[in-house]
């Protein structure tokens, strides 16, 4: 493959090649009819609602993995942050850091995947930027996305969680963490683990109007254990998770057992944790199970009076403290 | 299904008419991990204690061996390859010097963590003009595959630094005193699968202490624990094989033969504990030309042997011997945490301190008070 089919430093020099890169690869795929790639800032007309804004950077290795890639991840991650905040995603901006040597073919796949994810979530890309970094200075491609969303349900917060509330998860945990790790490492482990990388907008949207809904969160880095800690701190209460109820796929469990990981700390990229008043748990479960990606939704725990800590009730009937994540077992997964 | 079985064993254990204090020791990091992660201690009768014993080969790897590995990495034109958890184990050299293999690597030395011996062979074949030193610390379960690879053929460019240890001599040492350190033993399933369960017969036969070979699932550990406790109540100490489908009589004859081809049994130092008779694997004379101890003898510091203790203030030696619980070390969770470990037991995945920390145990009360 010759250089014309790869990113070179010249693609970052601001000249003709930069313009071609933006116009031919990014704008054609991501831009709507109104996108003007020549201006420095997009002009938006926003109605007088409350708006949520979020920004997130994505650095996954490898940039393509079973079940997803960094392009899809960069959209879903930001769309999901808005969704769990009770906001309907509307606009997105993207900043791409491309490493010298990245093949165009790969870049096109990533941008196509980005475009698909954006379309699916109903967001328009209104602004973008690209930079090229020298070879060896940035694992293929990094993306940063900023999302703007219209707030539909504005009172979701860990602070409104109280003892008695129950904790639900929309599907099996740990798929993303294990899929990416298996794709990266040369372990002799077979197993069909795909990332759960997906938009959680449909799952969130379908429960925004449940009055007893207190809090939504997508358990990315640090997994559901880390969400549980956030809850226990905010509510100053004991969070109890029931091991037997937490859905974990068999291959994920197998890899965890072999390598000594706790699946509860592994990242998900397409799941939601909800905290809800106990009498409305069934409503949320019912709606999730009828929505895209919620078939395996479960009630996995509850919030109890007691010191701020997270207790795992093990499947043999014992209990242990689920500590905050100490050292990250899996670097660079989202 | 195995969870239901586990609950049945728990129920059966609660039915036993046990003495007021029972101490059962396990001697395997894998067992300790299951005990902690499944919260097994929290469901047992209050008078049953399970003590983590010598189950971590990295924890007892002599300080002078680790020191030698670091010096080779720093001063010789060679790549040191070793199992991952060895990298962060500290030596006792002053803080401003290079104390760990990880620091040696940061200082530019070639140190490569591995998960399996075959990685050493692959690297050596792929880079025939470079030299490699395979620093292998482990119990029988690790040394058997190491021996198998060596017996198959050692690449010309690989030298060996072997710190292999046997498990039962440490237990024999614990039982040598007047008063036994424990009332029952859960014998290690993987070790027994290689070496044969018979190695552990001395525990009931010589010392009258109930014993059972166990697997690694919670229900398997609970069935072995039940066996030990029932023997105790009935005063019929035997060695029961509760992991029979994986542990045949005689173990794995082929693996034992290979161990014997490559290694001889030697008296060996255990860090912080001293020299235990017949407790180590040494390279047979046929491999002397590839023995890093011989090749790099000039880098070894003889005076270190006297310093072969644990780092100052670290109770790892007592933890390894089951004399104290991790939580009873004054440094546990204060200056010693996984992020900045003081002793090897907080570094290794098989170290009791590390396992307890990962299992969320912060104080002795945490073992029992979690029930709602
Ligand atoms: S807590 Fe740290 S210092 Fe204490 S025994 Fe364990 S490893 Fe050693």
Whether A28 has its CB under 8 Å from any CB of chain B: the answer is: no
Inside any domain, residue A185: yes
Residues in chain B: 372
Mean pLDDT confidence for A208-236: 95
Question: Could you tell me if A195 and A313 lie in one domain?
Answer: yes
Task: Find the closest chain B residue to A306 by CA distance.
Answer: B372
Chain A residues lying within 8 Å of B353, measured CB to CB: none
Atom of ligand 1 nearest to the CA of B344: 7
Ligand 1 mutation pick, B341, B356, B358, max ligand atoms within 8 A of CB: B341
Q: Can you give the CATH number for the domain in which A274 is found?
A: 3.90.650.10
Query: What is the pLDDT of chain B when averaged over all its residues?
Result: 92
Q: Which residue(s) pair with A143 in the sheet?
A: A58, A96
- Name the token pair of B251: 């173990």
- What pLDDT does residue B369 have? 57
- What pLDDT does residue B260 have? 97
Angle between the N-to-C axes of helices B218-234 and B2-15, in degrees from 0 to 180, rounded to the nearest 10 = 20
Task: Find the closest chain B residue to A319 by CA distance.
Answer: B39
DSSP A256-272: HHHHT--GGGS--SS--
Ligand 1 mutation pick, B319, B323, B352, max ligand atoms within 8 A of CB: B319
- What pLDDT does residue A160 have? 94
Question: Could you tell me if A135 and A260 lie in one domain?
Answer: no
Mean pLDDT confidence for A93-106: 94
Chain A residues lying within 8 Å of B115, measured CB to CB: 187
Of A207-216, B132-141, B186-195, B351-360, which gets the smallest average pLDDT?
B351-360
Question: Could you tell me if A300 and A169 lie in one domain?
Answer: yes
Q: What is the pLDDT of residues A118-130, one digit of tens each?
A: 999 999 999 888 9
Of A1-5, A278-282, B298-302, B356-360, which gets the smallest average pLDDT?
A1-5
- Report the complex ipTM: 0.80
Question: Could you tell me if A117 and A223 lie in one domain?
Answer: no
B201 or A24, which is more confident: B201
Give the H or E element holding residue A94. Answer: strand A87-99
Under 8 Å CB pairs connecting chains A and B tally to 72
Q: How far is B302 from chain A (nearest CA, A)?
A: 36
Percent of the residues in chain A that have a pLDDT greater than 90, as a whole number: 70
Question: Could you tell me if A147 and A173 lie in one domain?
Answer: no
Q: How far apart are CA A309 and CA A312, in angstroms?
A: 10
Half-sphere exposure of B149 (CA within 13 A, CB side): 17
Are residues B38 and A262, on separate chains, in Cβ contact within 8 Å?
no
Mean pLDDT confidence for A159-187: 91
Best-predicted range by mean pLDDT (A178-182, A183-187, B362-366): A178-182
How far is CA B248 from its chain centroid? Answer: 22
- What pLDDT does residue A4 have? 65
Are residues B339 and A311, on separate chains, in Cβ contact within 8 Å?
no
Question: Could you tell me if A198 and A311 lie in one domain?
Answer: yes
Measuring CA to CA, how many Å separate B26 from each of A186, B64, B288?
33, 27, 35
For chain A, what is the domain count? 2
Q: What is the pLDDT of residues B12-45, one digit of tens each?
A: 999 999 999 999 999 999 999 999 999 999 999 9
Boundary of a domain, candidates A151, A179, A198: A151
Task: Find the closest chain A residue to B119 by CA distance.
Answer: A186
- What pLDDT does residue A33 have? 72
- The answer to whether the CB of B353 is under 6 A from ligand 1 is yes
Give residue B363's pLDDT band: very low, low, confident or very high (50, 70, 90): confident
DSSP B332-343: BTTTBBTTB-SS
Q: What is the pLDDT of residues B145-171, one digit of tens each?
A: 999 999 999 999 999 999 999 999 999
Give residue B367's pLDDT band: very low, low, confident or very high (50, 70, 90): low
Asked if the model's pLDDT at residue A218 lies above 50, the reply is yes
Inside any domain, residue A331: no
Give residue A3's pLDDT band: very low, low, confident or very high (50, 70, 90): low
Residue A127 has φ and ψ, to the nearest 5°, of -155, 150
Question: Could you tell me if A162 and A311 lie in one domain?
Answer: yes
Which of B7, B115, B370 lies closest to A321 in CB terms?
A: B370
Chain A residues lying within 8 Å of B357, measured CB to CB: 323, 326
Are residues B218 and A316, on separate chains, in Cβ contact within 8 Å?
yes
Q: What is the pLDDT of residues B226-284, one digit of tens each?
A: 999 999 999 999 999 999 999 999 999 999 999 999 999 999 999 999 999 999 999 99
Cβ atoms B350, B29 nearer than 8 A? yes
Q: How far apart are CA B164 and CA B143, in angstroms?
A: 6
- The answer to whether the CB of B316 is under 6 A from ligand 1 is yes
Boundary of a domain, candidates A126, A151, A176: A151
Look up tokens 């905040």; give the residue.
Answer: A85
Are residues B10 and A327, on separate chains, in Cβ contact within 8 Å?
no
Percent of the residues in chain A that have a pLDDT greater than 70, as a whole number: 94
- Name the token pair of B132: 């490699």
- The answer to whether the CB of B319 is under 6 A from ligand 1 is yes
Among B72, B127, B131, smallest CA distance to B104 is for: B72
- What pLDDT does residue B372 have? 37
Q: Give the burial string for A183-215 (b: 16+ CB within 10 Å, else e).
A: bbeeeeeeeebbbbbbbbbbbbbbbbebebbbb
- The answer to whether the CB of B343 is under 6 A from ligand 1 is yes
- What pLDDT does residue B307 have? 58
Question: Could you tell me if A263 and A302 lie in one domain?
Answer: yes
Give residue A188's pLDDT band: very low, low, confident or very high (50, 70, 90): low
- What pLDDT does residue B120 have? 96
Chain B residues lying within 8 Å of A253, measured CB to CB: none
- The answer to whether the CB of B320 is under 6 A from ligand 1 is no
Question: Could you tell me if A202 and A250 lie in one domain?
Answer: yes
Residue A62 preceded by cis peptide, ω within 30? yes
The CATH homologous superfamily of the domain defined by B1-17+26-64+76-86+108-308? HypD, alpha/beta domain 1 (3.40.50.11750)
Q: How far apart are CA A273 and CA A167, in angstroms?
A: 7
Whether A24 has its CB under 8 Å from any CB of chain B: the answer is: no
Q: What is the pLDDT of residues A66-97, one digit of tens each?
A: 999 999 999 999 999 999 999 999 999 999 99
Q: How far is B162 from chain A (nearest CA, A)?
A: 24
Q: Can you give the CATH number for the domain in which A61 is found?
A: 3.30.1330.10
Question: Could you tell me if A89 and A137 lie in one domain?
Answer: yes
Question: Could you tell me if A317 and A297 lie in one domain?
Answer: yes
Asked if the model's pLDDT at residue B370 lies above 60, the reply is no
Could you state, in order of their start, the residue ranges of all structural domains in chain B? 1-17+26-64+76-86+108-308
Which of B33, B362, B371 lies closest to A319 in CB terms?
A: B371
Inside any domain, residue A3: no
Which of A240, A315, A326 lies closest to B372 in CB terms?
A: A240
Asked if the model's pLDDT at residue B84 lies above 60, the reply is yes
Inside any domain, residue A234: yes
Give residue B141's pLDDT band: very low, low, confident or very high (50, 70, 90): very high
Of A26-35, A173-182, A317-326, B280-289, which gets the smallest average pLDDT?
A26-35
Q: What is the CA(B61)–ligand 1 centre distance, in A?
A: 15
Question: Could you tell me if A173 and A313 lie in one domain?
Answer: yes
Chain B residues lying within 8 Å of A311, measured CB to CB: 370, 372
Atom of ligand 1 nearest to the CA of B336: 2
Of A81-90, B1-10, B120-129, B216-225, which gets the smallest average pLDDT?
B1-10
Give residue A45's pLDDT band: very low, low, confident or very high (50, 70, 90): confident
Give residue A257's pLDDT band: very low, low, confident or very high (50, 70, 90): confident
Atom of ligand 1 nearest to the CA of B332: 1
Asked if the model's pLDDT at residue A39 lies above 50, the reply is yes
Q: How far is A126 from chain B (nearest CA, A)?
A: 43
Q: What is the CA(A264)–ligand 1 centre distance, in A?
A: 26
Inside any domain, residue A54: yes
Boundary of a domain, candidates A119, A134, A151: A151
| Residue numbers of the domain that contains A71 | 9-37+48-151
């Amino acid at each position: 493959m010759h250089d014309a089919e790869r990113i070179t430093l010249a693609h970052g020099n601001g000249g003709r090649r930069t313009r071609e890169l933006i116009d031919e690869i990014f704008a054609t795929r991501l831009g709507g009819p109104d996108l003007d790639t020549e201006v420095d800032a997009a002009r938006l007309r926003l109605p007088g609602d409350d708006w949520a804004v979020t920004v997130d950077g994505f650095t996954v290795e490898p940039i393509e993995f079973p079940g997803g890639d960094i392009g899809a991840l960069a959209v879903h991650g930001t769309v999901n942050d808005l969704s769990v905040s009770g906001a309907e995603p509307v606009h997105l901006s993207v900043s791409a850091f491309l490493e010298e040597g990245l093949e165009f073919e790969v870049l096109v796949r990533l941008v196509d995947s980005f475009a698909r994810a954006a379309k699916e979530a109903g967001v328009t890309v209104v602004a973008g930027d690209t930079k090229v970094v020298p070879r060896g200075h940035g694992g293929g491609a990094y993306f940063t996305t900023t999302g703007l969303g219209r707030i539909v349900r504005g009172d979701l917060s860990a602070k409104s969680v109280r003892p008695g509330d129950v904790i639900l998860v929309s599907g099996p945990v740990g798929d993303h963490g294990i899929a990416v790790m298996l794709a990266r490492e040369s372990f002799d482990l077979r197993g069909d683990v795909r990332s759960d990388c997906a938009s959680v907008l449909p799952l969130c949207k379908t429960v925004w109007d449940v009055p007893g809904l207190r809090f939504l969160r997508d358990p990315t880095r640090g997994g559901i254990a880390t969400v549980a800690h956030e809850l226990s701190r905010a509510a100053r209460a004991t969070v109890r998770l029931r091991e037997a109820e937490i859905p974990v796929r068999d291959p994920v469990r197998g890899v965890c057992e072999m390598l000594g990981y706790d699946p509860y700390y592994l990242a998900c990229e397409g799941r939601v944790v909800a905290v809800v008043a106990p009498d409305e748990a069934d409503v949320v479960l019912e709606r999730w199970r009828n929505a895209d990606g919620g078939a395996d939704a479960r009630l996995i725990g509850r919030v109890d009076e007691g010191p701020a800590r997270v207790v795992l009730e093990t499947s043999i009937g014992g209990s242990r403290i689920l500590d905050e994540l100490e050292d990250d077992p899996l670097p660079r997964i989202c | 299904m195995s969870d239901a079985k586990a609950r049945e064993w728990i129920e059966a254990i609660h039915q036993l008419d046990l003495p007021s204090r029972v101490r059962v020791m396990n001697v395997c990091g894998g067992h300790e991990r299951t005990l902690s992660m499944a919260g097994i201690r929290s469901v047992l009768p209050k008078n049953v204690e399970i003590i983590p014993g010598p189950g971590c080969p990295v924890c007892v790897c002599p300080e002078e061996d680790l020191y030698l590995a670091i010096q080779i990495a720093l001063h010789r034109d060679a790549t040191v390859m070793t199992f991952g958890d060895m990298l962060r184990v500290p030596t006792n050299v002053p803080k401003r010097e290079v104390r760990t293999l990880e620091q040696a690597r940061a200082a530019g030395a070639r140190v490569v963590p591995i998960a399996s011996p075959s990685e050493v062979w692959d690297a050596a074949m792929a880079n025939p003009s470079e030299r490699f030193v395979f620093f292998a610390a482990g119990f029988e379960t690790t040394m058997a595959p190491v021996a198998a690879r060596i017996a198959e053929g050692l690449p010309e460019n690989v030298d060996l630094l072997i710190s292999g240890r046997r498990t039962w001599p440490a237990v024999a040492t614990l039982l040598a005193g007047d008063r036994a350190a424990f009332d029952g033993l859960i014998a290690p399933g993987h070790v027994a699968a290689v070496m044969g369960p018979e190695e552990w017969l001395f525990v009931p036969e010589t010392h009258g202490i109930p014993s059972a070979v166990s697997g690694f699932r919670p229900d398997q550990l609970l069935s072995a624990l039940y066996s030990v406790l029932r023997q105790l109540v009935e005063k019929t100490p035997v060695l029961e094989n509760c992991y029979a489908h994986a542990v045949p009589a005689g173990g794995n004859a082929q693996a034992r033969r290979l161990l014997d081809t490559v290694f001889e049994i030697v008296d060996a130092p255990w860090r912080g504990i001293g020299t235990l008779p017949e407790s180590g694997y040494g390279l047979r004379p046929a491999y002397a030309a590839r023995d890093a101890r011989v090749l790099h003898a000039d880098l070894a510091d003889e005076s270190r042997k006297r310093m072969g203790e644990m780092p100052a203030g670290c109770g790892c030696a007592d933890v390894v011997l089951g004399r104290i619980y991790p939580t009873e070390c004054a440094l546990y969770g204060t200056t010693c945490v996984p992020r900045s470990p003081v002793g090897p037991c907080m570094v290794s995945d098989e170290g009791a301190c590390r396992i307890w920390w990962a299992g969320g145990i912060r104080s002795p009360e945490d073992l029992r008070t979690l029930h709602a």
